Chains A and B, each alone.
Chain A
Amino acid sequence: MNYIPHTDKDIKEMLAAIGVSSVEDLFNDIPVALGPKSFDIAPGRSEFEVTQALKNLAAKNATHLTNFVGAGFYDHFIPAAVDAVVSRPEFYTAYTPYQPECSQGWLQAIYEYQTVICELTGLDVANASLYDGGTALYEAAMMAVRLTGRNKIIMDSGVNLIYRTMLYTYTSNLSVEFMEVPVAHGQSSRQELLKHLDDKTAAVILQNPNFFGAVDDHSDIVKEVHKFGALAIASVYPVSLGMLKSPGEAGFDIATGEGQSLGIPLSFGGPYLGFMSARKELLRQMPGRIVGATVDIDGKRGFVLTLQTREQHIRREKATSNICSNEALCALRAVVFVALLGREGLRELAELNYQKSEFAKDALSRVAGVEVKRSSPTFNEFTVLLPRPADEVVYRMVNKGFACGFPLGRFYKGMENYLLVAVTEKRTVEEIRKLADSLEAVL
């Protein structure tokens, strides 16, 4: 099967019009010696056969487990209306809206998405999205390097290790210097951070809630950062912003994050949604596509991709970034998700996550040998200290039907007995109680 509509008669007529006798003739520019040495691909299969084969593979994934794993990527409920809207082929089979007159739907949706990101993060301008939270953070760091003309970045180790590692990879051929600061008692260590702050610092990167789930108010740090003429960059979890102080309120210059929690399935790591917003003074150094409102020749409101002189297809090697696409369909999921919830719904969602997570903390702290870390407040994720390696416990809990959390020893030496537990609104009281009971049984 090939989805090609041509009949034999069509092909004959088309070849005659071109003036060649066979389709092969059209490939004469490819020297015979460059023909494929091998092309060992199985024959095509029917739609039913392929679907069955892939259903069988899907069944090999353990999606039956009750999920308490988060670590930056969360199992939230996705309303059916989100799926319905993004299933409109007029959205998902369109290309980038470079021709605005026949793409007003997409352009307006992205303009609305940009507004939602600005409102959630409390900042002035947002782009049309980036690949994921990690690439968004990298782009923010490079924005700060360009804006300040400095190359030292101070990074809190409460920033997701995955993102920190990505930043190191991306900058390995550029002259950017990183300073990592350990976390103290769950929250950002003021003392350590301020110690490294100097007039060579381009930016300080903080995450809220941090990787260990701790909630912080970073406004005091941000004030100090600004005294040195550096920029403050926040990496945030958008669902938490239904409740937590926004980066804008805390004084941050740039906010980035992973938008997966806004109606995007976990899908084994992608596609996800990197978002970015900033103070309006930083706009010209912002990477990625941006949609703006304007008017047509009759004065009617319309939307276009704008400020494209920052971008690779015009600036080539001098562009603000090499980034070309955005994650439009994921951004659409986010804006529809937020529109359905509205301001009340988003607050309710954040509150639910907080309440259930606090309940889980209480339930787990009653399990003998388990210590719930309470040195700082948390949102929907927290660390527990187990009496034995978390790896082992997690393995045993799988047999009880739970993905009970992320074993922190996988990322942090010396934290082998720590488990990171996430509790979203999807987890029921019964599931949380059963989690505690099962944990008691396997310890």
Chain B
Amino acid sequence: MRLIFEKHKEGRRGFSYAKPGVPAARPLDARYRRKDNPHLASLSELDVVRHYTNLSRLNFSVDTNFYPLGSCTMKYNPKFTERIAGLEGFSGVHPLLPQLSGGGMLAQGSLEVLHATERLLAEITGMCAFTMQPLAGAHGELTGAMLIAAYHKDRGARRKYVIIPDSSHGTNPASAAIAGYEVKVIKTSPEGYMDMQEYKKSLDKDTAAVMLTCPDTLGIFNPRIKEIADMAHEAGALMYYDGANLNALLGKARPGDIGFDVVHINLHKTFATPHGGGGPGSGPVGVSDRLVDFLPIPRVTQRTDGTYALDYHRHKTVGYIAPFYGNFGVILKAYAYMLRLGKEGLIEAAEAAVLNANYCRVKLKGHYDLVFDKTCMHECVFSASRQVKNGVHAIDIAKYLIDQGYHPPTVYFPLIVKEALMIEPTETESKETLDSFIGTMIEIARLAEEDPARLKEAPLRMPVKRLDETKAAREPNLRWQP
């Protein structure tokens, strides 16, 4: 499709404002004014709406396609939450309104949403308190790592390392580094768990924390998780829970009960807020009692008369990690979702997610190499190593799936699995959808044997064929040039 700038027509207008209706002011001195003329397209409203509507049609999305993207929990996003987030009473509230009078009395509705969501998440995860401020999962990780640093500093210790398994998300080590930590990587044992011997060896008085995803990125729940936590605590280290995979555990186990001290949750995964093409997300962080004092400010508190206030006076706080109270619009949708599901709905979500993943696992394991052949949680990880023998790689499988109308699973992650295909169907997909996806995957396995060239040339039905990513990186063309 042509770019919006390539549709520009001088003199055309898509929007206009009412006349100012005020006497003309003295013009701003020319030295403060811009002299260049930004090249922005001039178009009609229809031009703009048609352009972006047609662009939208070039995307796969949950509402149009099965999207079994492992680790991303692409479940259905209920429509009513969009309507609630659009209510003027929420979307129109200026974040500084609580500053204007009576300590938050002008924004009681929004403050109640924040407070109630914190309490719900605390109950779901077994944590003591939550901050809703982190603006995304990785931002939650950074906040969590900073809380850990503040905790150790407060105790007069300067601990140097964070222990992270090699199956972790890339954000884990990156977040730890920004909080000032060096990273010790622990390898995964042949059974699919963090290697306990290496873990024992690495754990010492310089260990600040152990960062784990649970169930891990292989979709496996480590039955020795409590032992890992106890050992960390014995060494004076804290336990960090990457909540990317919390969906599998709703009502089944709580990170707080296991012994985790810091938890971040991706509301856009477990709590069904839309991924928005890559954001906005929301990454609230929950903590055990020993970390409550360090949480970012402001804290939303409830007064004895039941009203809500903002507390800025916490002398041990790490400070401000967001401009205000978090991605409120996203938090609101997650809150509405939790109210709607309730206790039973949340448990059923975890159960159906795990059921769907295991169904895919069992149906496909005769056709692809299952990395660890055991019951999985919300996702299952295959390797395309069998197909590689015929020259077919995970990427080829992904591209052929696109032509069949499926968003591919996550490929090449976790990094420790060669040719990884990570399938997370989520609980909102029906047996019919899974069966037809499984059928396509089996057909691909057959093609890999009989006609690998068919897979190598895919996709053929999309607006573009395979793109030259090397050229994109070598000769960066990152903007339209007039």
Contact = CB atoms under 8 A, between A and B. Distances in A.
B231 interface: no
B179 A173 contact: yes
Interface string B229-257: 00000000000000000000101111001
Contact of A345 (B13, B138, B296): B13
A327 B14 contact: no
A45 B429 CA distance: 22
A330 B176 CA distance: 28
A109 interface: yes
Interface in A1-44: 1-6, 10-11, 13-15, 17-20, 23, 26-31, 33-44
Interface residues of A, number: 202
B99 interface: yes
Interface in B338-388: 338-349, 351-352, 354-356, 358-359, 361-363, 374-375, 377
Interface in B307-349: 318-330, 332, 335-336, 338-349
A107 B282 CA distance: 22
Contacts of B96: 69, 71, 73, 406
B278 A271 contact: no
A377 B28 contact: yes
Interface stretch (B194-202, B218-226, B284-292): B218-226
Interface in B255-277: 257-258, 272, 274-277
Interface stretch (A97-105, A189-197, A435-443): A97-105
B110 A268 contact: yes
Contacts of B57: 90, 105
A13 B171 CA distance: 39
Interface in B170-208: 170-171, 173-180, 182-183
A348 B42 CA distance: 13
B77 interface: yes
A92 B274 contact: yes
B320 A169 contact: yes
Contact of A126 (B84, B137, B479): B479
B101 A394 contact: yes
Nearest to B11: A344
Given A36-B126, A36-B257, A342-B13, 20 more contacts: A41-B124, A44-B343, A55-B84, A55-B87, A69-B94, A79-B45, A96-B275, A101-B399, A102-B402, A115-B3, A125-B478, A162-B324, A245-B31, A249-B36, A269-B95, A269-B326, A295-B471, A307-B476, A332-B52, A395-B102
B339 A6 contact: no
B477 A294 contact: yes
Contact of A270 (B100, B324, B348): B324
A365 B113 CA distance: 40
Contacts of B109: 56-61
B341 A1 contact: yes
Nearest to A166: B320
A108 interface: yes
8 contacts: A31-B226, A60-B112, A61-B107, A69-B100, A106-B278, A269-B328, A322-B174, A339-B40
B327 A5 contact: no
Nearest to B113: A57
A10 B40 CA distance: 54
B453 interface: no
A72 B363 CA distance: 54
A33 B459 CA distance: 49
Interface residues of B, number: 205
Contact of B336 (A46, A50, A105): A50
B391 interface: no
Nearest first, the 10 A-B pairs at minimum CB distance are: A58-B89, A269-B324, A44-B342, A173-B180, A271-B280, A169-B319, A358-B25, A329-B276, A269-B95, A60-B109
B323 A13 contact: no
A203 interface: no
B277 A269 contact: no
B305 interface: no
B59 A170 contact: no
Interface stretch (A128-136, A145-153, A177-185, A221-229): A128-136
B450 interface: no
A163 B323 contact: yes
B165 interface: no
A90 B63 contact: yes
Given A51-B84, A101-B399, A265-B92, A19 B362 contact: yes
A169 B226 CA distance: 32
Given A329-B279, A352-B20, A410-B99, A271 B327 contact: yes
Contacts of A344: 13, 42
A322 B221 contact: no
Nearest to A55: B87
A283 B146 CA distance: 28
A101 B466 contact: yes
Contacts of A302: 463-464, 467
Contacts of A269: 95, 322-326, 328
B472 A294 contact: yes
With a 10 A CB-CB cut-off, give which of A61, A111, A122, A306 has the most chain B CB atoms: A61
Contacts of B399: 101
B154 interface: no
Given A61-B89, A398-B101, A325 B170 contact: no
Contact of A97 (B137, B278, B343): B278
B13 A105 contact: no
Nearest to B376: A26
Nearest to A131: B135
B3 A112 contact: yes
A37 to B, nearest CB: 5
A321 interface: yes
B4 A339 contact: yes
Given A132-B135, A173-B149, A342-B13, A322 B478 contact: no
B83 interface: yes
A377 B254 contact: no
A38 B123 contact: yes
A324 interface: yes
B447 interface: no
A87 B23 contact: no
A411 to B, nearest CB: 9
B448 interface: no
A111 B4 CA distance: 10
Contacts of B65: 102
A371 interface: no
A115 B82 CA distance: 29
A99 B472 contact: no
Nearest to A322: B174
A165 B46 CA distance: 43
Interface in B47-65: 48-49, 51-65
Nearest to B25: A358
Given A271-B280, A296-B464, A348-B16, A41 B100 contact: no
A101 B464 contact: yes
B304 interface: no
Contact of A104 (B49, B59, B361): B59
A44 B344 contact: yes
B215 to A, nearest CB: 8
Interface string B1-32: 10111000000111111001111111011011
